[in-house]
Amino acid sequence: MHILAPCAGADEVEPLAASGADELYAGIFPEGWYARWGRGSWPNRRGPGPANLQTTDEVVALHAATVQAGLPLYLAVNSQFYTDAQGAWLLDHLTELHAAAPVDAFIVSDPGFIALLRERLPHVDLFASTVTVALNAEAARLLAEDLECARVILSRHLDLREIRTLRDAVPDVDLEVFLLNDNCYFEEGFCSTTHTMPGFGVYCMTPWEVQVTRDDRGDAPLTDPEERARWDFLLDEHREFIRHLGNRGHGAGHLKMPLGPCGLCAIPELLDIGITSGKIVGREASLFRKLRSVQAVRRVRDVASDGGARAAKTEAVALRGDPRGCAAGYSCYYRSARDRDLVPVPTRPRGPRPERRR
């Protein structure tokens, strides 16, 4: 399984390669996009700023550095859809960009744009972004066979059992999964926000006040103590989950590894499944966070290859330095990978189920 790391510029290539990255990816927010379409639409699922390169010169320099390091480079242009005008403009831009910096693949989502890009640049690999929402084998076949995508990046919400089932159904399709840093409790491909509402921020990360009522009883408040306790538990868990997804409340492990959403314990099974690449998320992150993330994945992958699954999971928990967080599972991409002998996995309290409406 390759280690795919985010990269924000040519100066990050050498240290990422030295830390163990096998592949690099970057985003682009081309000059001229704002003047045409403003803030209401993005060319990929990250906004302008440190998450993206803006000029052709930046891409050319990054590509030259990856060639020197012997690493492939992929560029993300993975918004859910483009208007006809946006698609035509972006198609021309990518054609010119690839002539100046022949990157190894584009990460894309819009099926219509995939078809246009395949026709315009037939010899360039296209990767189906997680934003395409590949949740099953038929979706993977559509993307790989009908749209000729060389790799399918799976939804971050699939569990290990589902990933294995999908892998068995499409053994010839290269699959990529998420490993570290950013998470979301929504399905990104179904998300309609660009996280740019002025003065509001990211609405899905806002700590809303929630009230639970019984609609089968005229929106009456909960009165049963056990039912109230059950909902209080679920809401508290949800708030804590949001805190972890936003990387809030985290320190660092004893090796100063930044904490946050994680799939390190799942690496042994992902290797066994035959996953092509494990993605470290965070194009906008600091170089320190990227390096520590790459080093952690490389370490656990090496231990899994040499010492087996148990040794790799032990190493993953030690690297995290956050046994409480591992036990809670709020930050786990793949909760089923947790080993009860390594972390005390909690049990949910059970309460009465709401009455079914007739």
Whether pTM exceeds 0.75:
yes
Q: Of 339, 334, 275, 270, which is closest to residue 310 (Cα–Cα)?
A: 339
Examine the pLDDT at 257 and tell me if it is beyond 90.
Answer: no
Given this model, what pLDDT does residue 209 score?
81
Q: Is the pLDDT of residue 356 over 60?
A: no
Lowest mean pLDDT among 189-193, 285-289, 310-314, 327-331: 189-193
- pLDDT over threshold 80, residue 31: yes
- When mean pLDDT is compared across 67-71, 83-87, 342-346, 352-356, the lowest value belongs to 352-356
Per-residue pLDDT, 251: 46
pLDDT score for 258: 63
Q: What value does the mean pLDDT take over residues 163-180?
A: 93
pLDDT tens digits for 200-249?
Answer: 566 676 777 888 998 888 889 888 899 999 999 888 888 877 777 665 44
Residue 277 structure tokens: 């690449």
**What would the CATH number be for the domain defined by 2-195+245-337?**
3.20.20.70
pLDDT at 332 over 50: yes
**Domain range summary for the chain, segments of one domain joined by +:** 2-195+245-337
- Section 185-194 average pLDDT: 72
Contacts 24+ apart (CB under 8 A), 203-209: 205/242, 205/245, 205/246, 207/239, 207/242
Listed residue (23, 39, 38) closest to 74, CA to CA: 23
- Please state the rounded mean pLDDT for residues 20-38: 91
* Pairwise CA distance, residues 316 & 325, whole Å: 13
User: What is the three-class DSSP state of 240?
Assistant: helix
Question: Given pLDDT bands bounded at 50, 70 and 90, which one contains residue 140?
Answer: very high
